[in-house]
């Protein structure tokens, strides 16, 4: 089956791609690029998805979108991709999943969410097999030093102890991630230079320079 993977560059969408490939599907990455922060799509470092596509040797289609038109833009992107299914990295966001499921239903294609309602033990597995970095934080307890830091399995238990608690998948807006390597990547991304931006309790780690290296 030809499947469109809603791809942001973060850990969840990368695991969704891994799942689809393991099921034997033909995968094309659909990269929605919001022009501002969005509840539907990632924003930081979205331009580096092209390099991730090159690293995994999978095709990518990029579409610009705005908050006002993001759902219609996604629907048009899926029509353009001519896919039979859609896979996403949704974990707990009913806001996101319900909208994606409705679009898939309207188009008559199947929707898959392989990590929907997975727990912290599964997250540790994901972090063991992928090289994941924090590229945005916006929650009490996630300080500036987390930016550009690799998200390791042992960090999950530490984050679970935070008060107030956060979603360790970071799906509630607590943060965003970038994947530099995964089992299906043919090459690894070496990040050479970061631009760390911090204001109040929020920050972003913008990748300024990166290159591909052999694995």
| pLDDT score recorded for residue 99 | 94
Q: pLDDT tens digit string along 62-113?
A: 999 888 899 999 999 999 999 999 999 999 999 889 999 999 999 999 999 9
Q: pLDDT tens digit string along 126-170?
A: 999 999 999 999 998 999 999 999 999 999 999 999 999 999 999
pLDDT over threshold 80, residue 40: no
Nearest Cα to Cα of residue 136 among 173, 175, 162, 109: 175
**Domains in the chain, ordered, with CATH?**
2-112 (3.40.50.620), 129-214 (3.90.1490.10)
- Using CB atoms within 10 A of its CB, is residue 139 exposed (0-12), middle (13-18) or buried (19+)? buried
| pLDDT score recorded for residue 128 | 98
Nearest Cα to Cα of residue 77 among 165, 5, 10, 23: 5
CA torsion 7→11→16→18, rounded to 10°? 110
- Give yes or no for a cis peptide into 164 (omega within 30° of 0): yes
Nearest Cα to Cα of residue 150 among 53, 55, 11, 7: 11
């Amino acid at each position: 089956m030809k499947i469109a993977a809603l791809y942001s560059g973060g850990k969840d969408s990368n695991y969704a791609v891994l799942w689809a490939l393991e099921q034997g599907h033909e995968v094309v990455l659909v990269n929605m690029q919001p022009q501002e922060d969005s509840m539907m799509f990632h924003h930081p470092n979205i331009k580096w998805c092209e390099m991730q596509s090159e690293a995994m040797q999978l095709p990518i289609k990029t579409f610009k979108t705005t908050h006002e038109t993001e759902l219609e833009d996604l629907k048009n992107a899926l029509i353009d991709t001519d896919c039979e299914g859609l896979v996403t990295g949704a974990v707990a966001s009913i806001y996101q999943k319900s909208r994606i499921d409705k679009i898939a239903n309207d188009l008559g294609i199947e929707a898959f969410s392989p990590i929907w309602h997975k727990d912290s033990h599964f997250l540790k597995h994901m972090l063991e097999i992928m090289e994941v970095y924090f590229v945005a934080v916006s929650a009490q307890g996630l300080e500036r030093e987390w930016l550009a830091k690799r998200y390791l399995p042992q960090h999950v238990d530490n984050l679970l102890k935070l008060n107030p608690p956060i979603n360790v998948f970071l799906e509630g807006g607590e943060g965003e991630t970038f994947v530099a390597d995964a089992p299906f990547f043919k090459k690894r991304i070496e990040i050479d230079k970061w631009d760390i931006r911090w204001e109040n309790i929020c920050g972003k780690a913008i990748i300024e320079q990166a290159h591909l290296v052999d694995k």
